[in-house]
Amino acid sequence: MELIVTHQGDNGDVLVNGRELHEFLEVKTRYNDWFERMIGYGFEENQDYVAITQKRVTAQGNTTVYVDHHLKLDMAKEISMIQRTDKGKQARQYFLEIERRWNSPEMIMKRALEFADMRVKQLETEVQSLQPKALFADAVATSHTSILVGDLAKLLRQNGIDIGQNRLFDWLRDNGFLISRKGESRNMPTQRSMELGIFEIKERTHNNPDGSIRITKTPKVTGKGQVYFINKFMNESVSIN
């Protein structure tokens, strides 16, 4: 049977609610005044206890704010002993029993297993969050070579961005990276893109059957551009509709 409710803190300490201890000890002094007197015995905030701001809704629907405290087990034991009452003795004996059970081999093993389970879950979360970064690292590793816009779309899909070549062309035109006006210059990099170094134009010559030469121009995403766009899509709220 729990005389006073205890709970485990984030760092594994056993904690006791200050107001519940005050109530159990049947202290007549107002809680805030009593607690101020208790910390006068040399207890340090964030070392022996933590102050917690709580909210309470009254019967009239009003919200009041008050301060509560979570005490470490050693502080709760010492405060109980300071009271020099039967209730104080009972509380201290109860906390000693809690401490004995807490430090038993079974409880140590239980906490170790709980910690291991928590750590495994943390690692699983970290691995999931790193997967896009790992794919991004692969993209960076090959970013010394310029690629077609369609290949950039493939890299973006590998990093979890649902976009295809045509939609990416639309987005690049709408956002001022490629020229949108009709004509021979359509889909060529804008001046801005060229100044940023994220696009380049590859020219190829073709020999026509009549002996003339035809030149084609293709926009290609530079290594810097690959890093730029993958970062932009992964780290910013980019609309691709």
Q: Which amino acid is at 207?
A: N
pLDDT at 143: 53
pLDDT at 239: 60
Tokens of 7: 């709970």
Tokens of 76: 């709760």
d(CA 208, CA 86): 107
pLDDT at 173: 94
pLDDT digits (tens, 9 = 90+) for 55-75: 877 777 788 888 899 999 999
- DSSP assignment, residue 147? B
- Confirm if 41 and 50 have CB atoms less than 8 A apart: no
Domain range list for the chain = 6-103, 140-235
pLDDT at 168 over 90: yes
pLDDT at 108: 63
- Confirm if 138 and 132 have CB atoms less than 8 A apart: no
Mean pLDDT over 28-36 rounds to 93
d(CA 96, CA 122): 33
pLDDT digits (tens, 9 = 90+) for 186-230: 999 999 999 999 999 998 887 777 777 888 889 999 988 888 888
Parallel, antiparallel or unpaired: strands 213-221 and 63-72: unpaired
Secondary structure percentages of the chain, helix, strand, coil, to 5: 50, 20, 30
pLDDT digits (tens, 9 = 90+) for 95-151: 888 888 877 777 666 666 666 677 777 777 765 655 555 555 555 555 567 899 998
Mean pLDDT over 138-166 rounds to 79
Other Cβ atoms closer than 10 A to 139: 20
pLDDT at 115: 63
> Residue 12's closest CA among 95, 130, 112, 80?
112
Mean pLDDT over 85-100 rounds to 89
Q: Is the pTM of this model over 0.75?
A: no
- Dihedrals φ, ψ of 230, to 5°? -65, -40
pLDDT at 128: 63
pLDDT at 241 over 60: no
pLDDT band at 7 (very low <50, low <70, confident <90, very high): confident
- DSSP assignment, residue 60? T
pLDDT at 12 over 80: no
